[in-house]
Chain A
Amino acid sequence: MRRLAAILLPLLLAACASAPRTSPELEALRAELEQLERDPQLGGLAPVAMVEADRAIDAAAASLAAGDGELEQKLYLAGSRLKIARAQAQRRVVENRIRALTLVQERAVPVLQEVEGIAIPPPELRPEPVPPAAEAPPELPPELPRKSALPAPPAE
């Protein structure tokens, strides 16, 4: 009997020691972080915050393994870090959109000003077209009005 106990006890202890410790909350946080990292729109937009969230989840896992009574606290902090990472990534998406829209607007405004600022003369008042020179490209005299690229207005 003693021999059996002597054999079984170490085996039992070893089994307990190597049993994987986990918690549903911890696994949920890990899954959420992985999903955020793989998100085609948000993934990679807040790398620092995501690393911090990853570290906070690791700290929670360490608390779980050590059984130091800090698991609940570490889970709370990891959850907060994850929310911060998501909010920062969402902000970057919005900022990128603003940048793209502003760029389009900045490029469009000079074109619009040019189009609106040129008075298109009627056909009879338009200057004779200058024939292209065969040799050197002609330089437009400064007196000539600027030619518009717009099509001629319809004759009334």
Chain B
Amino acid sequence: MNARPFRPPALACLGMLLLAACSSQPLRPDEAMEAAEVAVGKAGTGVAAPDAQGPLSSARGKLDQARAALQALDYPRARRLAEQARADAELSIALADLAKAQARLQQVLPAAAETR
């Protein structure tokens, strides 16, 4: 009796290949997208300081591009753009806060000069 050589069924091979392909598929960058949305929204509600406008418009533009990349299923690009949008938005917030503090100082300075 001739023993048949072991041949894994074609379906099993295909399944394994499919699993391997899935494991290398980049995940949807939902967390990065959400963080970017929150940061850009927060930056947009701040006082419009001139220094903060550049990073804010950059953040908005990148968030729009990230949404488009997400729709096109280009997840790596969407993640990169979302991370940059978040960083730009947080920089915009920091610059707006600095501008607000400087404006408050300008209000306090004359009164402080009078008391001297």
Contacts and interface: CB of A to CB of B under 8 A. Distances in A.
A112 interface: yes
A102 interface: yes
What range describes how many residues of A lie at the interface? 20 to 34
19 contacts: A49-B94, A73-B83, A80-B88, A80-B91, A83-B91, A83-B94, A84-B94, A87-B94, A88-B94, A88-B97, A90-B98, A91-B98, A94-B104, A94-B105, A98-B105, A101-B108, A101-B112, A105-B115, A112-B115
B53 interface: no
Interface string A69-95: 000010011001101100110110011
A109 B94 contact: no
Contact of B94 (A73, A91, A108): A91
Contacts of B109: 101
Contacts of B105: 94, 97-98, 101
A77 B86 CA distance: 9
What range describes how many residues of B lie at the interface? 20 to 34
Contacts of B115: 104-105, 108-109, 112
Chain A interface mostly? helix
B101 A73 contact: no
A49 B90 CA distance: 11
Contacts of A88: 94, 97-98
Contacts of A90: 98
Given A73-B80, A77-B84, A98 B108 contact: yes
Given A91-B101, A101-B108, A108-B115, A84 B84 contact: no
A73 B101 CA distance: 31
Interface of A: 49, 73, 76-77, 80-81, 83-84, 87-88, 90-91, 94-95, 97-98, 101-102, 104-105, 108-109, 112
A49 B98 CA distance: 14
Nearest to B113: A101
B80 to A, nearest CB: 5
A109 B111 CA distance: 11
A94 B109 CA distance: 11
B35 interface: no
A91 B52 CA distance: 14
Given A76-B87, A97-B105, A101-B105, 12 more contacts: A73-B83, A73-B84, A77-B84, A84-B87, A88-B98, A91-B97, A94-B102, A98-B101, A98-B108, A105-B111, A108-B115, A112-B115
